[in-house]
Structure 1
Amino acid sequence: MDRKFKVAVCQLKVVEEKVRNLSRAREMIGRAAGEGAALVVLPEMFNCPYVARFFPGYAESYPEGESIQMLARAAREEGVYLVGGSLPEKDGEQVYNTSFIFAPDGTMLGRHRKMHLFDVDLPGGLRVRESSTLGAGNRVTVVSTSLCPLGVAICYDVRFPELIRLMVLKGARVVVIPAAFNMTTGPAHWDLLFRMRAIDNQAYFIGASPARDPMASYVAYGHSLVVDPWGNVVDRAGEGEEILCVEIDLDLVEQVRGELPLLRHRRTDVYALELLSPDSIC
């Protein structure tokens, strides 16, 4: 296992034409690999505008979906681990907000279906109802890689500390969160949430946002970031399209956990966190 490796976040602008989104994502994956990234991450709903009513029309089934095939091919051709942001996935009659994770040989390591659906009425009149077109996932996602165990969740999932802690208890050293925070939640909570989760769990946290498009009906915050196990923001993107490339140092994870042993000091004789079903981990 490499103790240091580079991760790249591709903060791309998402438009209504799926073919343009796929072409842009593929180009940015190639550029990220060219910068030495071993792990490449795309944003939430990278092939589709973040609008609930659009999701069924853009939905794809595994493995034949064109976006899914592009991700597998890109991982194989570039020789990288690839967290394919998320996209609308059709399974039978149900549609999910799903992140597909691929190995450098193009095989799928796992997929995370967003567990917590974003049904909110925010200040300023922004109303979102993901549940109007999406179903909820029910699995905690930690995949094994030659880099380290990798946790994956999607956007609103990061607000639920129980889910994130379960990932870390299952071995995650790096947690990837493709996310499309908006112009209300982003300025208020983006940095705060990622730093809190990193401090609580003493792991690297990666937030991958779409680029900001002020003309879109849902305006993403941007500012993709990488936070280290001490809670420091190692680097962040701006508002527009950008590739954020950062070195991950796994020795820092072990150093922080050794100096401030939060995970060892949990009072499991008093409280416990457990999965209700053994089938809820993948």
Structure 2
Amino acid sequence: MQDFKIATCQMDVCENKDENIEHAIQLIKKASANDAKLITLPEIFNGPYDTAKFIEFAEDENDGQTLQAMSKTAKKHDIYLQAGSIAERCDDKIYNTAYLFNPDGEIIAKHRKMHLFDINTKTMKFTESDTLTAGDKITTVDTDLGVISIAICYDVRFPQLWTLMSQNKSDIILLPAAFNMTTGPLHWQTLIRTRAIDTQAYVVATSPSRIDNPYYVAWGHSMIVDPWGKILSEAETKEEILYADIENNKIDDVREQIPVLKNKRNDIYETIMK
């Protein structure tokens, strides 16, 4: 792993796909000009977070407008780009899929959201499974920058997934997400810091900014958290680009001080209860 600067773009998202793509490109350009080597975007950054819009905006991976634009942008600016997530159409199914591009503009990893956001609280109801299909693979890739894993939003609530990403020796875990005004105030920061402490890895959570709209109002508060659980950078509610320095020695230092990865009791955890 090498030391580098990361940028996460908390961006305004509107109903127009073309405008969202162009806006993302401009934010990426700005972050790249500030020497960021890895840049991230929010969950469903190219359109409204809405089950009906997932169908309308869904793209095929091989010829999709959004992915072609992101590929060209990563190559142009010579960066790793975690292009948030989009609605991916594959055969007769739609997935909420996050893509990672290398500086050559190639897709080197993709994560299909494993845990679909089906909730019914006292203040809101949302059912992703009305439209989406869940993914079934852990996503980890070894890059020049370090070992990177990807999860999406609701995936953050399932520690079993994060244990597996930790077992993959992840240095950085990227989390495009769109928490809402119900769950965000109490759970967002706590969950992200907890997962960084659990995995002893950097966790980068990227949200859309908070804009009033008829579909879904995001909590915002994108953040970059280090392996000690310290918040290195945090947005408020408006559009903002966050920056932080990713330092290899910080990961090693935390894991040496509190060697939870060595102290795990797999002999107990993997026991089958009869």
Matches within 5 A, 1:8-47: 8-47=7-46
Question: Which amino acid is 1:36 matched to?
Answer: D
The letter for the 2-side match of 1:224 is S
> What amino acid maps onto 1:156 in structure 2?
Y
Alignment of 1:132-151 (within 5 A): 132-151=130-149
CA distance in 2, matches of 1:157, 1:272: 22
Q: Which residue of 2 aligns with 1:276?
A: none
Deviations 1:127-181 (A, max 9, x none): 1010001000000000111000001010000100010110111121110000000
Give, as a single letter, the amino acid of the residue that structure 2 aligns with 1:214.
D
Q: Counterparts of 1:198 and 1:138 in 2: how far apart (Å)?
A: 22
Once residues 51 and 270 of structure 2 are traced to their aligned partners in structure 1, the CA distance between those partners, rounded to angstroms, is 36
Counterpart of 2:26 in structure 1: which amino acid?
E
- In the TM superposition, what is the alpha-carbon distance from 1:123 to its structure 2 partner? 2.7
* 1:158 matched residue in structure 2: 156
How many angstroms apart in 2 are the aligned matches of 1:122 and 1:19? 34
Q: Which of 238, 241, 255 lines up with 2:239 in the alignment?
A: 241
SS where residue 82 of structure 1 aligns?
Answer: strand
Q: Can you list the C-alpha shifts for 1:49-92, whole angstroms capped at 9, x where unaligned?
A: 00111101100001210001011111100111011100000001
Which position in structure 2 is the counterpart of 1:67?
Answer: 66
Deviations 1:216-238 (A, max 9, x none): 42100001001111111111011
Q: SS of the residue aligned with 1:254? A: helix
Which amino acid in 1 is paired with 2:174? V
Structure 2: which amino acid aligns with 1:18?
K
Secondary structure in 1 matching 2:75: helix
Whole-Å separation in 2 of the counterparts to 1:242 and 1:127: 28
Separation in 1, partners of 2:136, 2:98: 13
2: CA distance, partners of 1:14 / 1:75: 20
Given the alignment of the two structures, is residue 271 of structure 1 paired with residue 269 of structure 2, yes or no?
Answer: yes
* TM-score computed with the length of structure 2 as normaliser: 0.97
Query: Matches of residues 46-61 of structure 1 in structure 2 within 5 Å?
Result: 46-61=45-60
Q: Determine the C-alpha separation between the residues in 2 that align with 1:36 and 1:216.
A: 36
Instruction: Determine the structure 2 residue equivalent to 1:85.
Output: 84
**Helix, strand or coil at the partner of 2:269:** coil
1:79-115, CA deviations, whole angstroms, 9 ceiling, x for partnerless residues?
1101110000000110000001100011110100000
Instruction: Choose which of 167, 172, 175 in structure 1 pairs with 2:173.
Output: 175
Structure 1 equivalent of residue 121 of structure 2: 122
Deviates more, 1:210-219 or 1:225-234: 210-219
The one-letter code matched in structure 2 to 1:134 is L
1:192 is displaced (CA, Å) by 0.1
**C-alpha distance in 1 between matches for 2:200 and 2:168:** 14
Q: Which residue of 1 aligns with 2:204?
A: 206
Which residues of structure 1 form unaligned runs of 5+?
274-282
Alignment-mate amino acid for residue 233 of structure 1: I
C-alpha contact 1:212 1:239 (8 A) present in aligned 2? yes
Separation in 2, partners of 1:191, 1:233: 9
Q: Distance in 1 between matches of 2:172 and 2:122?
A: 32
User: Paired residue for 2:184?
Assistant: 186
* Structure 1 residue identity aligned to 2:160: E
Query: What is the aligned partner in structure 2 of residue 278 from structure 1?
Result: none
Specify the SS of the correspondent of 1:101: strand
Instruction: Provide the aligned length of Structure 1 versus Structure 2.
Output: 271
What's the RMSD between the two structures over aligned residues? 1.0
In structure 2, distance between residues paired with 1:5 and 1:204: 12
Aligned with 2:260: secondary structure? coil
Match of 1:280 in 2: none
